[in-house]
Amino acid sequence: MNDPFYAAQLQAWERSAHLRRLPEDYPDGLWIRRGEQCLWNLSGNDYLGFAADQDAQQAAAQAAAGLPLTASSSRLLTGNHAAAEALEQDLAQAYRRPALLFNSGYHANLGLIPALFGKETLILADKAVHASMIDGIRLSAAKHLRFRHNDIAHLRSLIEKHQHQFRTIAILTESVFSMDGDLADLPALAALKREFPHIMLYVDEAHGFGVYGRDGLGVAQATDTLPEIDIITATFGKAAASYGAFAILSPSLKAYAVNRARTLIFSTALPAAQVAVSRAMFARVQSARAERERLHRLGQIFRQHLHAPDGAPHIVPQIIGTDADTAAYAHKLQGHGFYCLPIRPPTVPVGTARIRFSLNAALPEAALQDLLAIVSA
């Protein structure tokens, strides 16, 4: 089919510098390889440095040895495996609530939100939640409204206005917002739940898992709000340097999701070998206190140097403004050996194009100092 609409749209995106292409730069531990050139990887999500750690990768390979490389079926048919049950038990022991595996964080949010929230639910979602949550909301039958980013007063006003119209009000947020590196006020959200009846808290810990909490369980653990959050989703594909995702929820919600979450029911399950890798990496996440401390120290140094507000240690944005200026600045950083990518609309609002510096615990302090010298020039 030769439809000129698609070609014209691609040309328009290219003229506006919004056309995406798959990169030909490949990750290699702490580096990105561009032909013969090596650049420090400051655009990935390997927050604890496990993807670059030979001991961690060897442990992962040993865990997967001899296990099937495909499930060939959904878990509800013939795709379940003892490895999945074991990982869910480890997660449940850590979080003190049942766990349910998903193929990705996107699968988790896309499946759980429409499965759990119907016409009797009002969803109140932070304006800055991830695309996977937005798409899950769109697929649901629930009425939904967005509250201003991290604006508890605005959220409260929406609850007060609508609290008697719905059986359940579901508040959806991320613990660490991936583009701004700021944190949700989970204690304030928990206080709202205690104040108003029929509120459920749904928190995506994709960027908090591994980085926060004594055992790396996320911002909810760090803020002592774990028991008050009804649903937590997180991914193994970032700080845990593996693949797949999970949800933490009550026994009844888990059973309900197994019966209604379409991304679980109709997807081929994760291979047992991959699940075993995630289990090995989850054990390392829980014990990675030194890595977390180092990451927080590096992030504090970097934020102070940029005069950035308090926020996550591993996600530090530098807002440039225009798309062209941001692309030029990224090119400059890459020329100095730092693989930093421009983040532009529609990922972020128009006029707020930025570099999203993504730090990890294995970054040498000398490299950080070199980066600081460049951003100060």
CA 18 to CA 44: how far, in whole Å?
20
With beta carbons less than 8 A apart as the criterion, state whether 298 and 361 touch.
yes
Would residue 66 be called left, alpha or beta, if left means φ above 0 and alpha means ψ between -120 and 50 degrees? left
Known catalytic membership, residue 314: no
Where do runs of H (alpha helix) occur along the chain? 4-15, 54-64, 82-95, 105-116, 131-139, 152-162, 186-195, 219-222, 251-260, 262-265, 272-287, 289-306, 323-335, 365-376
HSE-up of residue 290 (Cα within 13 Å, Cβ side): 3
What residues are paired with 317 via a beta bridge? 356
Q: Do 41 and 341 meet the contact criterion of CB atoms below 8 Å apart?
A: no
- Given the residues 45, 150, 242, 278, the one annotated as active site: 45
Q: Catalytic residue among 180, 204, 230, 291, which?
A: 204
Q: Per the residue annotation, which of 178, 242, 278, 360 is the catalytic one?
A: 178
| Rounded-to-integer distance, Cα 308 and Cα 86, Å | 42
Catalytic residue among 53, 103, 126, 130, which?
A: 130
Q: What is the DSSP string of 166-222?
A: -SEEEEEEESB-TTT--B--HHHHHHHHHHSTTEEEEEE-TTTTTTSSTTS--HHHH
Amino acid letter for position 33: R
Catalytic residue among 174, 185, 205, 291: 174
- Is 178 among the residues known to form the active site? yes
DSSP type of residue 228: G
CA distance 47 to 207: 9
Q: By three-state DSSP, how is residue 278 classified?
A: helix
Of these residues, 193, 238, 254, 314, which one is catalytic? 238
Active-site residue flag, 88: no
Residue type, 159: I
For residue 154, indicate whether it is catalytic. no
Question: How many C-beta neighbours within 10 Å does residue 281 have?
Answer: 26
Q: Which of 81, 193, 207, 314 is catalytic?
A: 207
Q: How far apart are CA 28 and CA 48, in angstroms?
A: 15
Please give the span between the terminal C-alpha atoms of the chain, in angstroms, as a whole number. 51
Is residue 45 annotated as a catalytic residue, yes or no? yes
| Residues noted as catalytic | 45, 130, 174, 178, 204, 207, 238
